[in-house]
Amino acid sequence: MTHPTIPLIASDHHLAHDGLIELVAGREVPCFESPARATAIRGALLETGAYDLQAPETHGPDPIAAVHELELIDVVEHAWTDAIAAGWDERRALLPDTFLLRAYAGSMPLDALPAARHLRLGAYCFDTATPIVGGTAAAARAAVDIALTAADRVLAGAPLAYALCRPPGHHAGRNLIGGYCYFNNAAIVAEWLVSRGASRVAILDVDFHHGNGTQQIFWQRPDVFYASLHGDPGGIYPYFSGYATEVGGDRAVGTTINLPLPPGTDGDGYLTALDVALDAITDFDPDAPVVVSLGFDTYHADPIANLALHTDDYARIGSRIAALRRPVVAIQEGGYAVEALGANAVAFLGGLHEDLGTE
Ligand SMILES: [Zn+2]
């Protein structure tokens, strides 16, 4: 057996981000985003003998504050403790029930919010799929450290590092949680790479869902390219963004590319769209490692998605990304067919690493 070479950055903090529920079409269901997901991926990767398990290094609050507004960080950090102090049943996950929509505010500033952070939650959250429990804030912070540590490994010369982030991040906006996401791990890494001297960073989002948070954060940033392949939002979460007409703000036209995919898209169809994204990234010519928002909810048996990829397709996707000939920071996002997550991660990262390593 060869010495394990691929850094696998992971921690156990996510295990306490547990006991989660979400509301789907008015029904309370166990949250699809569960600790078992990360446990399955970690076990499968380590079993191959190719991964070097490493704990994340603490990077402190500044990289989070470089992407998210302080009020949002305050809500993520304190909503649970404020709820408990107000008598909340600690066996129940916290979900907002009243949302501060643009239409509610109209032209009013509405800058007076309740002092208690759990009562502000609906001003900083866009759905009913993003529960908070006692372990949420620490898990979200650890996920950021995991992602940043993986980025550090690649900056230090590794061709590939894998960040086993849980909770995921790509739905979290500058001032908004949602879609199981609290802090945007991939966006924080992209900003970190800029702070380390990069002038052009590319994010490739292959999660099944549109990464609305990542797109929002970099909408006006010509130095951060965002390419996303995802299920057509005309029929799937998050519904309100991810259309092909969204190409970046007026100061960054062309640095966002959205490739919505019809239901049932298979591996060949997926690779055709992926080539469009990869060509765009090549044209953008990043001078930093490529940040991959990695979801396996494109799998045919995923319980909340509608594409038709199979395990061997992930190996093909990984080697196609390797053809960029650029180092990669792979950051875990979604994927909810728990029984297949391990095999899909092994296939994707194996294909990517094998082809990255053959110069
Ligand atoms: Zn997803």
Q: What is the pLDDT of residues 227-253, one digit of tens each?
A: 999 999 999 999 999 999 999 999 999
Binned at pLDDT 50, 70 and 90, residue 120 comes out as very high
Report CA(343)–ligand 1 centroid distance (Å): 18
Q: Which residues surround ligand 1, an ion (CB under 5 A)?
A: 207-209, 295, 297, 334
Give per-residue pLDDT as tens, 178-195: 999 999 999 999 999 999
Report CA(242)–ligand 1 centroid distance (Å): 13
Report CA(79)–ligand 1 centroid distance (Å): 25
CA distances from 36 to 166, 221, 306 (A): 10, 36, 22
Binned at pLDDT 50, 70 and 90, residue 1 comes out as very low
Q: Can 230 be counted among the known catalytic residues?
A: no
Find the catalytic residue in 13, 17, 170, 171.
171
SS3 175: coil
Tell which wins on pLDDT, 49 or 358.
Answer: 49
Looking at residue 60, its pLDDT comes to 97
Please provide the size of the chain in residues: 359
Report CA(207)–ligand 1 centroid distance (Å): 5
Report CA(80)–ligand 1 centroid distance (Å): 25
Mean pLDDT, residues 73-82: 98
pTM as predicted: 0.97
Beta bridge partners of 202: 225
* Residue 203 burial (10 A CB sphere; 0-12, 13-18, 19+): buried
Report CA(193)–ligand 1 centroid distance (Å): 24
For the chain, list the domains and their CATH numbers.
Answer: 6-21+29-59+135-356 (3.40.800.20)
Looking at residue 3, its pLDDT comes to 66
Give per-residue pLDDT as tens, 4-58: 799 999 999 999 999 899 998 889 999 999 999 999 999 999 999 999 999 999 9
Ramachandran quadrant class, 242 (left: phi over 0; alpha: psi -120 to 50; beta: rest): left
Binned at pLDDT 50, 70 and 90, residue 359 comes out as very low
